Chains A and B, each alone.
Chain A
């Protein structure tokens, strides 16, 4: 006979914060989520329950009842990650474990319980271990998944057991909600006066099915063990990696590339089969004398092309110093993302984009991705703050530039360069800059720019002049107004 253990984690979002030593959980605190267009409390701390709040209350009502209530929206991603971690942890109890999102686990414990000294001891052991990790839990053990689930949630004590073959009797007293049915069916059941599962089992199945359709009877027969409902274990995340161990160390470039090709084609075939690509690849080379060396390459877009990976690895592999050979290799793909296939001949724009990301990858892998950059506009009136450059790999969405109302130089010096005034004036009539002497023919200005007072390092007020010199170049001269002896700088050069 199958035995199933269901773990319910009723306070998972609170436990998550408690484990992070969040001081709010000790006080009046609740986690809320948006249900039917309203923020409602879902998980409440003990102090919040004592203050008269309950789950399902909307946030405005809760604030009215208890003004000192602290709330936080739920974080499904982190909660799922914690549940997943517990799913991995639970394999110490049984090898056959299924996730029961969002807040439970199913363990098929057939033949496992005697290792822990019987079912009650095993349930107690489970709760204790979880309590050690500051996680509140309730446990139900029964012959079927449905019954174990119902006992964990609606059984009286924290540990509820249904002895083998007595599922029906154990469930009889539980409310109809314990059948895990849609809200509509349970409310219909309650309206017809059916309060608990025991009452349901006394009615003929055909009549139930006619009134409430097959969902109810299916759920009921699964819970009572009349129809099979096995625990199907969740598969681990696929790992896209390949490893190769050699009997003798190798060191020739051609041999290394041969090994790399085998590893790459294996990893890439698996990625391609799943319609995925990786943005990063890590190759570990274990040299016999110097230990592990980690080589890594990146791509501007996810890829699963063997040739591209090989080509990018060629250079770091070339740089690697192998004196006595290497005998262990492992290639791992990371930052896995799905790839949408596209038709090459019809989508030339896409093809061009693909080529661009290829050259960004090539340049970035050799020079470093921080040195392949693109411009991004910034809202500011100061010439040096009007734009920033971001890593080309990071910039996914296209940007739009709006034309500036003022004329700006093509070359803008980050640090304005001091000039030597030869003949004073405003701006100087003759001056020396970068070993050349220039004479001002006409000047336009000043354009006075005040600093951004809301910035910490806002700097001083400055005046800019557009100067057309006799010999050709148009320069952008800058000075700080108000100083007794004006210092002049070249801020930029116009086209």
Chain B
């Protein structure tokens, strides 16, 4: 995966310089940063790919929580280019409150480094605060896929993800909210790693430094 910053590029130096506490290890490093122990929101058509690419940087199970109509359409066949589908644990809730409960449990359990939560509308302040606290306890990363509208929330970042029409496996990720840092937008391309023997190795996808930087 290589990243090209395209829009609204600010000084890359400021991006790299904001202070991090020790426990705030990063999931995505380089110009695109995603803090662990935090909940992030992703909107747009390619939000699910944002979650998948973030999960591909981590090892361990991925707990994917949503209503049955949302997670029922997830197809592992296509995901295996990016992650090992056997890592995914699908969890189906029948109501928004069940989904949020399961998300809190999963984030709090230290076993899952990546929890993906599908919601029809974004969490409100109270819901997102609870998720945020659970993520801080567990140390994993929570990614909220919001199909509808996002509300004011306590989440760390908010990303708008669209497929880029420049070519296959290219996306435009724009960071529209960031509680600790600058906003920005990046063009992300998936560089297919060499798969030896069909084995998936976590972290083989490297975010190259921004070419512009």
User: In the complex, are the beta carbons of A401 and B86 less than 8 A apart?
Assistant: yes
Q: Within 8 Å CB of A371, what residues of B?
A: 68, 91-93
Interface positions, chain A 355-400, Cβ under 8 Å from B, are 355-356, 358-360, 362-363, 366-367, 371-375, 377, 383, 386-387, 389, 392, 398-400
A435 at interface by CB-CB < 8 Å: no
Instruction: A392 to B86: give the CA distance in the assembly, Å.
Output: 10
Q: Within 8 Å CB of B6, what residues of A?
A: none
Indicate whether A358 sits within 8 Å of B79 (C-beta atoms), given known contacts A403-B198, A495-B49.
no
Instruction: A470 to B165: give the CA distance in the assembly, Å.
Output: 7
Q: Within 8 Å CB of B111, what residues of A?
A: 352, 355-356, 358-359
User: In the complex, are the beta carbons of A363 and B73 less than 8 A apart?
Assistant: no
Interface positions, chain B 93-132, Cβ under 8 Å from A, are 93-94, 98, 101-102, 105-106, 109-112
Q: Within 8 Å CB of A495, what residues of B?
A: 46, 48-49, 52, 78, 163, 169, 171
The total number of A-B Cβ pairs within 8 Å is 142
User: In the complex, are the beta carbons of B106 and A411 less than 8 A apart?
Assistant: no
B85 at interface by CB-CB < 8 Å: yes
Contact with B along A274-287 (1 / 0, CB 8 A): 00000000000000
Contact with B along A476-491 (1 / 0, CB 8 A): 0000000000000000
B195 at interface by CB-CB < 8 Å: yes
Q: Within 8 Å CB of A360, what residues of B?
A: 89
User: In the complex, are the beta carbons of A472 and B89 less than 8 A apart?
Assistant: no
Q: Within 8 Å CB of B102, what residues of A?
A: 363, 366-367
Closest residue of chain B to A403, judged by CB? B80
Instruction: A261 to B84: give the CA distance in the assembly, Å.
Output: 41
Distance in Å: Cβ of B119 to nearest Cβ of chain A: 16
Q: Within 8 Å CB of A373, what residues of B?
A: 89-92
Q: Within 8 Å CB of A474, what residues of B?
A: 163, 168
Distance in Å: Cβ of B30 to nearest Cβ of chain A: 20
B75 at interface by CB-CB < 8 Å: yes
Q: Within 8 Å CB of B172, what residues of A?
A: 472
Q: Within 8 Å CB of A401, what residues of B?
A: 76, 80, 84-86, 198
Instruction: A359 to B107: give the CA distance in the assembly, Å.
Output: 10
Indicate whether A375 sits within 8 Å of B198 (C-beta atoms), given known contacts A355-B111, A411-B73, A494-B163.
no
Of listed A398, A400, A471, A472, residue having the most chain B CB within 10 A: A472
Distance in Å: Cβ of B55 to nearest Cβ of chain A: 13
Q: Within 8 Å CB of A494, what residues of B?
A: 78, 163
Of listed A375, A409, A412, residue having the most chain B CB within 10 A: A375
The main secondary structure of chain A at its interface with chain B is mixed
Closest residue of chain A to B44, judged by CB? A472
User: In the complex, are the beta carbons of B89 and A403 less than 8 A apart?
Assistant: no
Closest residue of chain B to A411, judged by CB? B73
The main secondary structure of chain B at its interface with chain A is mixed
Residue in B49, B61, B85, B162 whose beta carbon sits within 8 Å of that of A356 in the complex: B61
Residue in B76, B86, B109 whose beta carbon sits within 8 Å of that of A398 in the complex: B86
User: In the complex, are the beta carbons of B164 and A472 less than 8 A apart?
Assistant: yes
Distance in Å: Cβ of A449 to nearest Cβ of chain B: 13
B63 at interface by CB-CB < 8 Å: yes
User: In the complex, are the beta carbons of B89 and A372 less than 8 A apart?
Assistant: yes
**Count class of interface residues, chain B:** 35 or more
User: In the complex, are the beta carbons of B163 and A375 less than 8 A apart?
Assistant: no
B8 at interface by CB-CB < 8 Å: no
Q: Within 8 Å CB of A468, what residues of B?
A: 165
Instruction: A371 to B93: give the CA distance in the assembly, Å.
Output: 7
B137 at interface by CB-CB < 8 Å: no
Distance in Å: Cβ of B114 to nearest Cβ of chain A: 13
Instruction: A414 to B69: give the CA distance in the assembly, Å.
Output: 10
Distance in Å: Cβ of A311 to nearest Cβ of chain B: 11
B45 at interface by CB-CB < 8 Å: yes
B72 at interface by CB-CB < 8 Å: yes
Residue in A352, A359, A411, A492 whose beta carbon sits within 8 Å of that of B63 in the complex: A359
Closest residue of chain B to A400, judged by CB? B198
Instruction: A355 to B113: give the CA distance in the assembly, Å.
Output: 12
B81 at interface by CB-CB < 8 Å: yes
A340 at interface by CB-CB < 8 Å: no
User: In the complex, are the beta carbons of B91 and A367 less than 8 A apart?
Assistant: yes
Contact with A along B53-81 (1 / 0, CB 8 A): 00000001101000010001111111111
A324 at interface by CB-CB < 8 Å: no
Indicate whether A358 sits within 8 Å of B109 (C-beta atoms), given known contacts A383-B77, A401-B80.
yes
Q: Within 8 Å CB of B75, what residues of A?
A: 383, 386-387, 408-412, 492
User: In the complex, are the beta carbons of B110 and A399 less than 8 A apart?
Assistant: no
B88 at interface by CB-CB < 8 Å: yes
Q: Within 8 Å CB of B169, what residues of A?
A: 495
20 CB < 8 A contacts A-B: A359-B106, A367-B91, A367-B92, A371-B91, A371-B93, A374-B88, A386-B75, A386-B77, A392-B90, A401-B80, A408-B77, A410-B75, A411-B48, A412-B75, A412-B77, A470-B165, A472-B162, A472-B164, A495-B48, A495-B78
| Top 7 A-B pairs, shortest CB-CB distance | A355-B111, A412-B75, A371-B92, A375-B76, A495-B49, A359-B109, A408-B78
